[in-house]
Structure 1
Amino acid sequence: MNIDIAVVGKIKEKYLAEGIMEYSKRLGRYCSLRILEVEDEKTPETMSYKEMEEAKRREGERLLSKIPDQALVIALSIDGKQLSSEELSEKISDLMVRGTSHIVFVIGGSLGLSDEILARSQMKLSFSRMTFPHQMMRMILLEQIYRAFRIIKNEPYHK
């Protein structure tokens, strides 16, 4: 299974970078993982709605350029479907059984995801109705993918 995490922006905090590195290393046993970063747009506090939408569109274009045509896309979105860890593992397992070999999870920047990214995705996934920093969400997502593979393989960890 090939899994890509397409994200806006770079990780600045050392503790997040270390956590991301750790879960990336652990996932190496279960899948081929790539983290695909694109540049984020500057987002001053005084942006108009139109300027925010334009910034999201530009970030979305950069993200779309990283997504292979044949990949199944799961966009992280606050209005997406909420799953338990077990349900996420079932979803990934079901996709593998059905022949899906490439999943791209997409995490937007501070403004969220463009309409073009949401239209390209086959599923919208929400981790909570709360908002998390997009940089922290990268580590949380990797941990949950790792947990999902441990559940799929019936290995201890997820309890």
Structure 2
Amino acid sequence: MKITVLTVGKIKERFYRDAIAEYAKRLSKYCKLEILEVADEKTPDAASETLEENIRQKEGERILKCIREDSYVITLEINGKMLDSVEFSQKIESLGIQGKSHITFVIGGSIGLCKEVRKRSDLALSFSKMTFPHQLMRVVLLEQIYRSYRIINGHSYHK
């Protein structure tokens, strides 16, 4: 299976980059991992809703250009479906059984995803009702994908 993590913005902090590299290394046993970054737009403080929508649109166009037509798309959204780790692993496993060979996870920018990206999504997934920095969500997502493969393969990491 190929897993693409498609994100808005670059990781600036070294500790996040180190954690991402560690999980990428661990995941190499289980899948082909690709991490794609698209440029983010600067969002001024107290931006109007119109400006925020324009920013989401620009970022969304960049995201959509990177999504392959045959990919199963999972967007990370605060109002998405919440799964526990076992359910998440079952979802990944069932996609493989159904013949899906490519999953793209999309992490939007600091003000979220535009409606066109959400419309392209096959599953909106939420990790919490809390708000997390999108750089941290990349680490959390990779850890959960790794945990899922450990569960699928009957290892005890997830306990």
TM-score (norm 2): 0.99
Within 5 Å, give how 1:6-155 maps onto structure 2: 6-155=6-155
Identity of aligned residues (%): 55
Q: Write the distance in 1 (CA, Å) between the matches of 2:38 and 2:128.
A: 24
Q: Say which SS state the counterpart of residue 117 (structure 1) adopts.
A: helix
Instruction: Report the alpha carbon displacement of residue 87 of structure 1 after superposing the two structures with TM.
Output: 0.3
Q: Say which SS state the counterpart of residue 110 (structure 2) adopts.
A: coil
Deviations 1:15-68 (Å, cap 9, x if unpaired)?
A: 111000000110000000000000000111031100000000100000011100
Q: Write the distance in 1 (CA, Å) between the matches of 2:17 and 2:76.
A: 20
Q: Write the distance in 2 (CA, Å) between the matches of 1:53 and 1:135.
A: 21
Displacement over 4 Å in runs of 4+: none
Q: 1:33 corresponds to which letter in structure 2? A: L
Instruction: Report the alpha carbon displacement of residue 156 of structure 1 after superposing the two structures with TM.
Output: 2.0
Q: Write the distance in 1 (CA, Å) between the matches of 2:79 and 2:47.
A: 23
Q: Say which SS state the counterpart of residue 66 (structure 2) adopts.
A: coil
Q: Write the distance in 2 (CA, Å) between the matches of 1:60 and 1:36.
A: 14
Which residue number in structure 2 is paired with residue 158 of structure 1?
158
Instruction: Report the alpha carbon displacement of residue 141 of structure 1 after superposing the two structures with TM.
Output: 0.1
Q: 2:48 corresponds to which letter in structure 1? A: S
- Aligned pairs, how many? 159
Q: Write the distance in 2 (CA, Å) between the matches of 1:88 and 1:145.
A: 8
CA RMSD of aligned residues (A): 0.5
TM-score (norm 1): 0.99
Structure 1 unpaired stretches of 5+: none
Q: Say which SS state the counterpart of residue 155 (structure 2) adopts.
A: coil
Q: Write the distance in 2 (CA, Å) between the matches of 1:114 and 1:35.
A: 20
Q: Write the distance in 2 (CA, Å) between the matches of 1:132 and 1:113.
A: 15
Q: Write the distance in 2 (CA, Å) between the matches of 1:44 and 1:96.
A: 42
Q: Write the distance in 1 (CA, Å) between the matches of 2:120 and 2:28.
A: 27
Structure 2 unpaired stretches of 5+: none
Deviations 1:88-132 (Å, cap 9, x if unpaired)?
A: 000000000010000000000001011011000000000000000
